[in-house]
Structure 1
Amino acid sequence: MDATDELAIIKLGVDDAIAGLVLSTEAHWNQTEEDWRIFLHDGIVFGIRDGRRLVATAALLPYSGKNAWISMVLVSGTHRRRGLATRLVDACLETARRNGLTSWLDATPDGAAVYGPLGFTPTLQLRRLKLVKSAFASAQPPSSATLDALRMRDRQATGLDRTALLSNFAQRPGSRIVSANGAIALVRDGRTARHIGPLFADDTAAALTLVEAIARSETGPLLLDAVASQAAFPDGLTASGWSIERPFQRMRFGPATAAGEDMPFAVAGPEFG
């Protein structure tokens, strides 16, 4: 028996936020301690410790309409390729099954190859884009918008009531909700870059114009997770200096649930959907 087979799966608590952040930082992910606290407070986070050290995690974050998001599937480099991630995802799926939840996740290409045989079905694709900014902002920020306006567009697009998540984002220092010409987006801090999303717009031109206005008013690097089927949007971003970092494949485990009426241009992030 491999020694890792004896490592027990445990449920983590809010006091484990820093230990989780150590894992996501090792993986060069953009999550903050506040992001971890969302999963630990509002969801279920399974973990594996080797001694006192947290070496692997996976989170299940419930949403409305019998949906849940699986994310934060992380294994320390010292413990990879030993089946820990599969065990933790299985724990998430079993919890979702007991509660009658359809599970979703956004997988890297390597992850998609693992999740497909487990029964996950591919849905839409995402493209993570990054813009490296200069050290100074050159324009005034776009107009502010209300949390209620963002929440309504989010529900219309996703079919989910994510008031708690969006409220958490909006209340953080440095966060802002901005809008212009039928487009609206949330901008928040990440560990290494500011993140734009979710972003909704009446058309591609409005989405690109809002992102350009945000970029002109920011001083540091920016990340954005674009919906690939809105093809003119990521194409317009790359034409204006954004670079594609990696793709993500959105996948579903379980029956289809109620979908939104509109397609977002950018999502809240692969960890949040």
Structure 2
Amino acid sequence: MGATDAQLPIIRLDGRDALGAFALSTEARWNQNEADWQFFLTRGVVFGVRDHDGRLIATAALLPYTESEAWISMVLVTENRRRRGVATRLVDACLEAARRRGLTTWLDATPAGAMVYGPLGFAPTIELRRLRLERAASPAPCPALVEGNLGELITRDISAMGFDRRDFLPEVAGRPGSRLLSTRDAMALVRDGRTARHIGPVFADNPDSALALVTAIVASEGEAHLIDAVAIHAGFLDGLMRAGWTIERPFQRMRFGNASQATLEHPFAVAGPEFG
């Protein structure tokens, strides 16, 4: 069976594959929804493998953000076909597509994934912690929330990422259910996911302001939330856990190639491992 899997061709996917791809991420209990997959399939380069019956059994996505920077994510293999080299082949396809375009590639890896990507030439950058909150513990005094400024979000995101994601952020902010929220000295993007609302990126002048903004968001929505916090902000992380958030897993951000521009600030939370 392993040799058979190794011979299955890698194909390029398109928007018609959204449901099959969504089934894979659902099986893996990931938080992506159909809108996320449509974005990858229409804006990115998504590779896949089908079994002999035509069923999609694996994916990997390359999402170019600029002419020099791209994100690799959505590396998924259905459970009964894992550990047969399919994921490695798909990541290699993404890297080859990036090489042809002259792109530096980034990804957020689990600890197990980091052990695979390191030998391929990926270098570690920042560490992340994914946290989940099922519901705000109790009403607490919160700062007033106002609609955030999309231009300011893009500017701060460029400062944090080192490259421009102005095609990505407006699309996500404009989805039904998305909210771009701000207080006097903090701002965050909130969007729908399959199992929970996702908060990020989050930018703030200090940890207390970031924590106050996140607290106000969850109090205003009353739903389950996920956040991918940047580990260097220890005070922010501690504050989240004191408020009832629990860490689900760590991620290691990694880069293949040279960054085109140095980052000028660290966000308090990122847009998610699928988007960076």
Check whether TM > 0.5. yes
Aligned with residue 200 of structure 1, among 194, 198, 203: 203
Partner of 2:45: 44
> Aligned residues, how many?
273
Q: Is 1:119 the counterpart of 2:121 in the alignment?
A: yes
Tell me the CA shift for residue 6 of structure 1: 1.4
Deviations 1:197-231 (A, max 9, x none): 01101111110110111011012100000000111
Matching residue of 1:6: 7
SS in 2 for 1:153: helix
User: Between the two proteins, what is the percent identity of the paired residues?
Assistant: 60
Aligned to 1:63: 65
Secondary structure class of the residue paired with 1:111: helix
Write the distance in 2 (CA, Å) between the matches of 1:205 and 1:57.
39
Query: Are 2:186 and 1:183 aligned?
Result: yes
Q: Deviations over 1:142-188 (max 9, x none)?
A: 11112222112211221221111111111111111011121110001
Alignment correspondent of 1:162: 165
Give 1:140 deviation, angstroms: 9.2
Indicate the residue corresponding to 1:75 in structure 2. 77
Shift of 1:266: 0.3
Equivalent position of 2:227 in the other structure: 224
Distance 1:140 1:188 in 2: 20
- Counterpart of 1:266 in structure 2 is 269
Q: Which amino acid aligns with 1:104?
A: W
- Give the structure 2 partner of residue 214 of structure 1: 217
Aligned to 2:90: 88
SS of equivalent residue, structure 1 residue 172:
coil
Given residue 61 of structure 1, which amino acid in structure 2 is its aligned partner?
Answer: L
Contact kept? 1:177, 1:187, Cα under 8 Å: yes
The normalised TM-score by structure 1 is 0.96
**1:246 aligns with one of 249, 255, 265:** 249
Q: 2:49·2:58 contact (CA, 8 Å) conserved in 1? A: yes
Which stretch of structure 1 is more off in the superposition, 86-95 or 161-170?
A: 161-170
Determine the structure 2 residue equivalent to 1:108.
110
Moved more, 202-211 or 257-266: 257-266
Map Cα deviations across residues 59-103 of structure 1 (whole Å, 9 max, x no partner): 000112611100000000011010000000000001111111111
CA distance in 1, matches of 2:35, 2:226: 17
Q: State whether structure 2 residue 14 is matched by structure 1 residue 17.
A: no
Q: C-alpha offsets along residues 3-59 of structure 1, whole Å, 9 cap, x if unaligned?
A: 112100000001111111000000000001010111111110000000210000000
Query: What is the TM-score when the length of structure 2 is the normalising length?
Result: 0.95
Q: Which moved more, 1:129-138 or 1:73-82?
A: 129-138
DSSP-derived class of the 1:36 partner = helix
Unmatched 5+ residue regions in structure 2?
none
**The 10-residue stretch of structure 1 (140-149 or 263-272) with the greater mean CA deviation from structure 2:** 140-149
Aligned partner letter, 1:234: L
Displacement of 1:134: 5.8
- The answer on whether the counterparts of 1:227 and 1:267 sit within 8 Å (CA) in structure 2 is yes
Pairwise CA RMSD: 1.7
- Compared with structure 1, are the counterparts of its residues 230 and 28 closer, same or farther at alpha carbon in structure 2 (3 Å cutoff)? same
Change (3 A) 1:246 1:255: same
The answer to whether the Cα contact below 8 Å between 1:141 and 1:214 also exists between their aligned partners in 2 is no
Dislocated runs of 4+, deviation >2 Å: 134-141
Please, which runs of 5 or more residues in structure 1 have no aligned partner?
none
